[in-house]
């Protein structure tokens, strides 16, 4: 099993760098949020089979919702979704809390 950080230390709405997976399946995704006090976060995992990454039309594979005090983590496995490229995106308003930071990891075989 290998893993990579696909969104690092996000503090506001943003998109991670697209990760070329070459159709690897299954993929697992895990998001963590850390900060002080009550924290919430939303992470949208997106995929595309298009080649031009900068202009690709990404589709939602799944959404991770985070909620906790000081830290929280959640994720899912995309069992039969051989997308060529994936990325993590935090939508507008998708992170709240004092000093809140989100990291997203992808695991694969």
Domains, in order of start, for the chain = 2-108 (2.60.120.260)
pLDDT at residue number 56? 78
pLDDT at residue number 45? 97
Sign of the Cα torsion 83, 21, 63, 92 reads negative
pLDDT at residue number 42? 98
pLDDT at residue number 71? 97
pLDDT at 50 over 80: yes
Percent of the chain with pLDDT over 90: 72
pLDDT at 54 over 80: no
Average pLDDT over residues 28-52: 94
99 exposure class (CB count in 10 Å sphere: 0-12, 13-18, 19+): exposed
Q: Are 20 and 85 in contact (CB under 8 A)?
A: yes
pLDDT at residue number 44? 98
pLDDT at 93 over 80: yes
pTM above 0.85, yes or no: yes
Q: What is the length of the chain?
A: 109
Average pLDDT over residues 69-84: 90
């Amino acid at each position: 099993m290998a893993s990579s950080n696909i969104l690092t230390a996000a503090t506001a709405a943003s998109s991670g760098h697209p990760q070329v997976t070459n159709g690897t399946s299954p993929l697992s995704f895990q998001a963590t949020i850390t900060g002080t006090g009550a924290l919430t976060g939303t992470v949208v995992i997106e995929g595309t089979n298009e080649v031009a990454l900068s202009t690709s039309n990404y589709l939602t594979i799944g959404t991770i919702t985070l909620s906790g005090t000081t830290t929280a983590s959640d994720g899912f496995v995309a069992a039969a979704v051989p997308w060529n490229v994936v990325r993590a995106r935090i939508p507008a308003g998708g992170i709240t809390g004092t000093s809140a930071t989100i990291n997203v990891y992808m695991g694969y075989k």
